[in-house]
Amino acid sequence: MSKSAFAPTLKQHRPIPSLRANIQALFPSLLLGATVLALSACSAPTTSSWTGYVEGEYLYISSPLGGRIEQLQVQAGQEVTQQAPLFTLDKEAELASVEEANARALAAKAQALNTEKGKRQEEIAVTKAQLASAEAQAALAQNELQRQQQLVAQGFISKAKMDDAATAVKLSSARVTELKAALAVAQLPARNDERTAASANATAAEQVVKQIGWRAKQKTEIAPQAGIIADVFFRGGEVVSPGQPVLSLLPPGNVKLRFYVPEAELASIKPGQQVQIHCDGCAENINATISRIATQAEYTPPVIYSNAQRAKLMFLVEARPDPAQAKALHVGQPIDVRLVKSNTAATEKKS
């Protein structure tokens, strides 16, 4: 076969000059377009978006004392204000204990006051009368002694009679001294140690009254914060144990947001940074503040880190929404979290 037979076939596989020329002519335009897109991408804000959900930190309201639920003033889903009554337990025993403690405290105070005083005026009057009688007897004994001394001097009686009269004078004088001392003691308060002990007993009785009063108050629980009653675990008439929650309360400030950020985007966020929350049915975006960034990754064990698996690393991030807007959120509700970085912030970061 001749060489000229293959000439048309070889000619068909040669490059077409006009196509190469067209590509070379279009390359500057494509390069210019890519440059414009790159510049526009640098001038526009970059947006990071993550997915998460709403979580609530519930307050479980209980009484430190057990008892039967006498009144239940709220129900699930009800919004309550701070200090609003929630439930009351039977406190008949505590009220009786309060009355008993008050009576004991009153007795202790009376005993303490009694130690600050002397004897009653009537008792002092009796002692004064006894003293007057003793003084009169002492005077009479002294006169009798003088007569006996004269009779002994005249020789009418023996000296033994005079000695008896002298002894009677001494006894009457001692009786007068005794009653004077008793009168002085009757006008004195109790000893310092007795008064201190009585005062301590009165103080202890007052503290018992406070303790019993505190126990009675614990049978009535009020809302520590404003919020929504999430759930009620008991009904009126049922008996609860000490510390057993009767209901759960969710204040707006206890609503938090949990979302997960990839490891590659972790450097773009920090605690205190503002984020915007969007959820289905929300009329407007909700502002929130990042409160916590987990210190360790999740889902991938640290022992098998690799370049291929680093993209799977996720870090838990928590944020607190504005309490005024938190009422629009519901626990378990999916949310989208967006963090917008303006190019002004990026320029400041570079500088």
> Among 25-29, 39-43, 139-143, which range has the highest average pLDDT?
139-143
Confirm whether 75 is domain-assigned: yes
**Residue 242 shares a structural domain with residue 257:** no
Confirm whether 146 is domain-assigned: yes
Number of domains in the chain: 3
**Residue 115 shares a structural domain with residue 188:** yes
**Residue 114 shares a structural domain with residue 196:** yes
Confirm whether 5 is domain-assigned: no
- What string of DSSP letters covers 89-125? E--HHHHHHHHHHHHHHHHHHHHHHHTTS-S-HHHHH
Q: Could you report the per-residue pLDDT of 201-210, keeping only the tens digit for each? A: 888 888 888 8
- pLDDT at position 9, please? 41
pLDDT at residue 80 is higher than 60: yes
Closest CA relative to residue 272, chosen from 314, 319, 315, 316:
319
> Among 99-108, 132-141, 150-159, 224-233, which range has the highest average pLDDT?
224-233
Q: Could you report the per-residue pLDDT of 299-340, keeping only the tens digit for each? A: 655 545 555 556 677 888 999 998 888 888 889 999 999 885
pLDDT band for 13, please (50, 70, 90 cuts).
very low
**Residue 184 shares a structural domain with residue 197:** yes
pLDDT at residue 348 is higher than 50: no
pLDDT band for 71, please (50, 70, 90 cuts).
very high
Confirm whether 317 is domain-assigned: yes
**Residue 202 shares a structural domain with residue 223:** no
Q: Could you report the per-residue pLDDT of 212-268, keeping only the tens digit for each? A: 888 888 889 999 999 999 999 999 999 999 999 999 999 999 999 999 888 888 888
For strands 286-293 and 274-278, give the pairing: antiparallel
- pLDDT at position 310, please? 61
What does the pLDDT average to over 134-157? 81
Tokens for 280, please give them: 């289905």
**Residue 110 shares a structural domain with residue 154:** yes
CA–CA distance, 221 with 248 (Å, rounded to integer): 12
Whole-structure pTM over 0.75, yes or no?
no
Indicate the average pLDDT of the chain.
Answer: 77
**Residue 315 shares a structural domain with residue 266:** yes
Confirm whether 29 is domain-assigned: no
**Residue 241 shares a structural domain with residue 284:** no
- pLDDT at position 246, please? 95
Give me the CATH number covering residue 300.
2.40.30.170
**Residue 131 shares a structural domain with residue 267:** no
What does the pLDDT average to over 162-171? 83
- Domain closes at, from 224, 250, 276: 250
- pLDDT at position 299, please? 62
Instruction: State the residue range of the domain holding 131.
Output: 100-208
What does the pLDDT average to over 182-193? 72
- pLDDT at position 73, please? 93
- Domain closes at, from 189, 208, 227: 208
CA–CA distance, 266 with 260 (Å, rounded to integer): 10
Confirm whether 199 is domain-assigned: yes
pLDDT at residue 69 is higher than 90: yes
Closest CA relative to residue 228, chosen from 249, 207, 247:
249
Q: Could you report the per-residue pLDDT of 290-305, keeping only the tens digit for each? A: 999 988 877 655 545 5
**Residue 105 shares a structural domain with residue 162:** yes
- pLDDT at position 95, please? 78
**Residue 174 shares a structural domain with residue 245:** no
**Residue 126 shares a structural domain with residue 266:** no
Confirm whether 24 is domain-assigned: no
Confirm whether 34 is domain-assigned: no
Tokens for 265, please give them: 């985007």
- Domain closes at, from 208, 236, 270: 208
pLDDT at residue 189 is higher than 70: no
The better pLDDT of the pair 328, 117 is held by 328
Give me the CATH number covering residue 85.
2.40.50.100
Closest CA relative to residue 285, chosen from 271, 300, 274:
274
